[in-house]
Structure 1
Amino acid sequence: MIKIELPDGKVIEITEGTTVKEIAASISRSLEKNAVGAIFNGEIIDTLTPISKDGKLKILTSKDPESLHILRHSAAHILAKAVKRIFGDENVKLAIGPSTEEGFYYDFDLTEPISEEDLEKIEAEMNKIIKEKEPFKREVVSREKALSLFKNDPYKTELIKELPDDEEITIYWLGDDFYDLCKGPHVENAGAVKAVKLLSVAGAYWRGDSKNKMLQRIYGTAFWKKSHLEEYLTRLEEAKKRDHRILGKQLDLFSIHDEAGPGLVFWHPNGAILRQTIEQWTEEEHRKRGYQRIYTPQLMKADLWKTSGHYNFYKENMFFVPVVEHDEEERLGNEEIPLTPKEIERATWYAVKPMNCPGHILVYKSQPRSYRDLPIRYFEFGTVHRYEKSGSLHGLLRVRGFTQDDGHIFCRPDQLKEEIQHVLDYVMELLSTFNLDYVINIGTKPEKYIGTDEQWEHATNSLIDALKEREFNYNIVEGDGAFYGPKIDIAVLDAIGRKWDGPTIQVDFNLPERFDIHYVDKDGEKKRPVLVHRAIMGSIERFIGLLIEHYAGLFPLWLAPTQVVIIPVSDKYLDYADKIYKILKEQKIRVKLDDESGKVGYKIRKAETQKIPYMVIVGQKEAESGTVSVRSKKEGDIGTLKLDEFINKLKSEIENKI
């Protein structure tokens, strides 16, 4: 017999090997009918899974958000079976087909390419399989049988050979003619997948490695109810309208050029104004909160990153370059000016910084510190570079070069909780200023880490206590901490509810020790400070990408690159328009005068496309009365206003960040 703890704290005893379905039946008929899976000791499993050890069990129904993982993983298998039916077993080799936060995908190696037009017939075949209500069946197999079953599937064979010798190998059958290497979980039969939609097809390298074969990936999504699927598809259509890559081009904000390198952003004048406005506001807010701005180099010796630990834990994501010192110059090694073997032998290896923390630590270490000096708060608009696989790059949201509003707080242990709370307060002000929704997660100790268990426990409890005292809701994400300490990650939700990395707060007891930094305490003894890594926006590029989509390109007045455009109804009123232009310019309003020849209607449509918040249209009536006719992108036609009245309206909106 084994003991199972239920969510209400009740402990029941069951026979080893009892399935989730049988446990649900022992609790109630209703639960047996509605159970679609469970969470057992933190892992999502299906109703077919036997329980073989003590643990905590939460039985899931379709009302639980975690149940979508089971549904979508099942839909991926239905997709694989449909593709095999249509294209033939001999023409299809299966790779992997996981669920994702938004849906699912499956990677295929096919003898012929799949087009967008093929998705309709594949989806139709999936719906046939769903109507057949074929059961999913779990089977534990030996390594030998698994290798035999998948002898013609090189991708599955590779995965099987990598499994530890003591790991249980399972396959899932869908009906009697389809099986897949899989841990689960799955629904009981295909008929449970009520609402499924295939979305797109794309290329994907096996295991994300460009050295491997390019496979074909089909993306889809599934929901328990058709109404939920329809809502999601509506949100998806809305997201397309808000796509920051499309709007970035339309509004002339930024561009990315292959000839310069993937994932490297060029800010155009409009985008530069938007970014600079946010940075200026952020800098003012930092200074209010006692931060001192610093600058650190882009290129630093590789040995520094060995001291910090980044070299051992993060080097695959870093860019390195050998630097050879000459009598009067330094030369970077590249293909056009190759280094000789002797030069390589005496080269000093540098790294393009992927993070700002070692530089901030060196600034702290540059002079003696007293307990009276703490906390010391540094911040920097630090540009960093990290290697991201080309397939994962996505406009501004995932890049290789980006800037962080990065800060580091050096404090005494007794100041730690208060400093974390100050950062949380700042983050909440930021999110409320831009009216952004968010989710708070605490990442705990990962598999690879530095420091002692006691330090990790102290740091993690400091984060939890700070959140509890501010009465924030949060989730614990086991193993998601940085290698040097636990963290609070605040995921920002985009226009369709997807989560993106945003603000972060990380407690670090380790780097102060690795860099041997200290302060002199009141007892005259040297003590280690606690280091808090924090970014308020996170990546400025990603944050602006989210804002573009959040506002659908129609920024609030204080952020808009062009706040007002003046449109004279004919050239006869250019002088008056120019007068208004100069007055607004003197009032520090970002204003443009559309003095091009053309019809007023065309100029209005152009301003609409450029999403300029206000249009000022002037003609004879306005010139004679010294007024302006105002049209708002948000409010429509406002009517005729005195110029002072209009300026006051603009300044009020800018000051209040409306």
Structure 2
Amino acid sequence: MSSANVSARLIFLAHTTTALCPAVSDGDETPSPEDVLADHTSLGAEQDMFFSHPESKIRSATVSALLTCLAHTTATPCPAVSDGDQTPSPEDVVADHTSLGAEQELFFSHPDSPGSYFFLPHGTRIYNRLVEFIRDRYWKSGLDEVVTPNMFNMRVFETSGHAGKYKENMFILEIENQKFALKPMNCPGHCLMFKHRVRSYKELPLRFAEFGVLHRKEASDTLTGLTRVRRFQMDGAHIFCRESQIKDEVRAFLEFVRDVYGVFGLTFDLNLSTRPENYIGDERTWEKAESALTEALNEFGKRWQKDEGEGAFYGPKIDITVSDAVNRKFQCATLQLDFQLPVRFGLSYIAEDESKSETPVMIHRAVLGSVERMFAILLEHYQGKWPFWLSPRQAIVFPVSEKSRSYSLKVRDQIHDAGYYVSEVRLVQYNYILVVGEEAAGTGQVTVHGRDEADKIVMTIADLLKVFKEKSAAFH
């Protein structure tokens, strides 16, 4: 988003309480920068829309600095996934999804930006559709999407503990004699968001979900196609809840995973990792947490395994491993309970007894793992034959002669206007080829060749769009 667009939005926010948006005019009615800053920040706080934090501020809050900050802010969900031993070898991954990506013109890498990928138009359509797919389910599941800064003062990561345990994997910058870092995970930002005002038990569970860019300084010799990169986007969410709410949140997460992976056609295995020797917190809290996870897993009705002593030091976790069409294993989804971060950030909420405050439990969760990794897994799983709802090339219109070209363009426009990707030239892995002849122009029909179907069918455009709508139903 350009600074000009951000400025217009801020001015609009400042004026919506008393007047129409002034963006249509550059006249005297446009407020001064001082008025905009004083107004939109107070309105934003009043309506609980946004806030600023000193650990993500580089210079004084002038309008230009604020606009620059907003124009460059990106959303980012958290990293709670890891690369397990079951991940296929680098040779297998690179030989497959990167070659398919090149063949279908989906993405490419460049030596001047190692570990970061360029997504071409068709690849971007798939990428965005994956994000939209998860975003739609977030909304239905009661998760609220938020946006947090992409860069924080190192003090934030010292508070979270990442500066001591993860510093070598962070991109650190020096700005005005202060140390800042591009965030490698989203959790600290969501802790600051929870803490920015007084919270009540009535608000819990509080569910923050975020999409955006994360950066991790992976070693060059470990970079592996889209499955291990330096720049990526994660579908992470953080839930702040009471101990009594853990079980319900875990159960909802497991159903979320079953829904998403079912649409993708992926099977999955469940593992519960329990208290390690170097755990923090008290034994009673751990036992209650593990009991809640165990009960949720048992009620889910799918077999699971227990890994004794393999939990994180700050809480037990559920790791989910998916299997693709050839039964290769990938760790993607995860759920982790965290008793440490809320304490380190001093998070609390007003209890039912208003004279007391309590510390929330924090749940880290991710389903795709990262958009890039799931993109690679699905590309190999489908072998480039994307399902209709996810396909960047849903149909092509193929005129049999120059005389039928005019009608073919009308067919193309009708399908495009209905919201589907269509072209008039032959490219790789289209779901449907629509052959248009001279006679078809008079009947309003097309001959349909399905990518995965042996027979061709003649149908009207209206009937074809009904088929497309049914094929797209999985997305909704």
Which TM-score band (shorter chain)? 0.7 to 0.9
For residue 240 of structure 1, report the CA deviation from its aligned partner.
Answer: 9.1
Are residues 1:528 and 2:359 paired?
yes
Quick one: distance in 1 between partners of 2:278 and 2:398? 61
Q: Do the aligned residues in 1 keep the contact of 2:246 with 2:289 (CA within 8 Å)?
A: no
**Residues 471-521 of structure 1: CA deviation (Å, up to 9, x unaligned):** 222222344333422211111123432221211111111111111111111
> Letter of the aligned partner of 1:496 in structure 2?
V
Matched with 2:410 is: 579
For residue 451 of structure 1, report the CA deviation from its aligned partner.
Answer: 3.2
2:148 pairs, out of 291, 296, 300, with 296
Q: Do the aligned residues in 1 keep the contact of 2:87 with 2:329 (CA within 8 Å)?
A: no
Matched with 1:635 is: 453
Matched with 1:444 is: 274
Matched with 2:171 is: 319
For residue 543 of structure 1, report the CA deviation from its aligned partner.
Answer: 0.6
> Letter of the aligned partner of 1:465 in structure 2?
E
Matched with 2:43 is: none
Structure 2: any 5+ residue segments left out of the alignment? 1-84
Are residues 1:257 and 2:75 paired?
no
For residue 252 of structure 1, report the CA deviation from its aligned partner.
Answer: 1.0
Quick one: distance in 1 between partners of 2:382 and 2:270? 22
**Residues 128-169 of structure 1: CA deviation (Å, up to 9, x unaligned):** xxxxxxxxxxxxxxxxxxxxxxxxxxxxxxxxxxxxxxxxxx
Q: Secondary structure at the match of 1:636?
A: coil
Counterparts of 1:180-579 in structure 2, within 5 Å, are: 243-260=96-113, 262-324=114-176, 347-446=177-276, 448-524=278-354, 525-579=356-410
Q: Do the aligned residues in 2 keep the contact of 1:556 with 1:657 (CA within 8 Å)?
A: no
For residue 621 of structure 1, report the CA deviation from its aligned partner.
Answer: 2.6
Counterparts of 1:635-654 in structure 2, within 5 Å, are: 635-654=453-472
For residue 406 of structure 1, report the CA deviation from its aligned partner.
Answer: 0.8
Q: Do the aligned residues in 1 keep the contact of 2:263 with 2:474 (CA within 8 Å)?
A: no
Q: Do the aligned residues in 2 keep the contact of 1:505 with 1:533 (CA within 8 Å)?
A: yes
Quick one: distance in 2 between partners of 1:102 and 1:292? 32
- RMSD across aligned positions (CA): 2.2
Quick one: distance in 2 between partners of 1:265 and 1:280? 20
Q: Do the aligned residues in 1 keep the contact of 2:106 with 2:124 (CA within 8 Å)?
A: yes
Quick one: distance in 2 between partners of 1:550 and 1:353? 31
Quick one: distance in 1 between partners of 2:170 and 2:315? 20
Quick one: distance in 1 between partners of 2:310 and 2:389? 37
Quick one: distance in 1 between partners of 2:219 and 2:147? 28
> Letter of the aligned partner of 1:319 in structure 2?
F
Matched with 1:226 is: none
Quick one: distance in 2 between partners of 1:421 and 1:630? 43
Change (3 A) 1:382 1:375: same
Q: Do the aligned residues in 1 keep the contact of 2:87 with 2:331 (CA within 8 Å)?
A: no
Quick one: distance in 2 between partners of 1:482 and 1:313? 13
TM-score w.r.t. structure 2 length?
Answer: 0.78
User: Computing the radius of gyration over CA atoms, which structure comes out larger, 1 or 2?
Assistant: 1
Q: Do the aligned residues in 1 keep the contact of 2:446 with 2:459 (CA within 8 Å)?
A: yes
Quick one: distance in 2 between partners of 1:520 and 1:640? 66
Q: Secondary structure at the match of 1:387?
A: coil
> Letter of the aligned partner of 2:459 in structure 1?
L
Change (3 A) 1:349 1:505: same
Quick one: distance in 1 between partners of 2:277 and 2:121? 45
TM-score w.r.t. structure 1 length?
Answer: 0.57
Q: Do the aligned residues in 2 keep the contact of 1:275 with 1:544 (CA within 8 Å)?
A: yes
For residue 402 of structure 1, report the CA deviation from its aligned partner.
Answer: 1.1
2:430 pairs, out of 601, 606, 612, with 612
Quick one: distance in 1 between partners of 2:88 and 2:455? 43
Quick one: distance in 1 between partners of 2:186 and 2:407? 51
Change (3 A) 1:103 1:546: closer
Percent same amino acid at aligned positions?
38
Quick one: distance in 2 between partners of 1:382 and 1:483? 27
Quick one: distance in 2 between partners of 1:102 and 1:410? 31
Between the two structures, name the one with larger relative contact order (CA 8 Å, sep ≥ 6): 2
Change (3 A) 1:483 1:302: farther
**Residues 186-213 of structure 1: CA deviation (Å, up to 9, x unaligned):** xxxxxxxxxxxxxx9x9xxxxxxxxxxx
Quick one: distance in 1 between partners of 2:358 and 2:108? 48
Q: Do the aligned residues in 2 keep the contact of 1:294 with 1:378 (CA within 8 Å)?
A: yes
**Residues 629-650 of structure 1: CA deviation (Å, up to 9, x unaligned):** 1101011332211221111111
Quick one: distance in 2 between partners of 1:448 and 1:300? 29
For residue 443 of structure 1, report the CA deviation from its aligned partner.
Answer: 2.3
**Residues 64-84 of structure 1: CA deviation (Å, up to 9, x unaligned):** xxxxxxxxxxxxxxxxxxxxx
**Residues 400-446 of structure 1: CA deviation (Å, up to 9, x unaligned):** 21111110111111111111111111111001111101111122344
Q: Secondary structure at the match of 2:218?
A: coil
Quick one: distance in 1 between partners of 2:164 and 2:286? 20
Range moving further from structure 2, 276-285 or 575-584: 276-285
Change (3 A) 1:377 1:240: closer
Matched with 1:51 is: none
Quick one: distance in 2 between partners of 1:577 and 1:254? 30
Quick one: distance in 2 between partners of 1:266 and 1:246? 15
Higher strand share: 1
Q: Do the aligned residues in 2 keep the contact of 1:296 with 1:382 (CA within 8 Å)?
A: no
Are residues 1:626 and 2:415 paired?
no
Quick one: distance in 1 between partners of 2:152 and 2:97? 34
Quick one: distance in 1 between partners of 2:246 and 2:447? 55
Structure 1: any 5+ residue segments left out of the alignment? 1-99, 105-199, 203-235, 325-346, 595-602
Q: Do the aligned residues in 1 keep the contact of 2:88 with 2:328 (CA within 8 Å)?
A: no
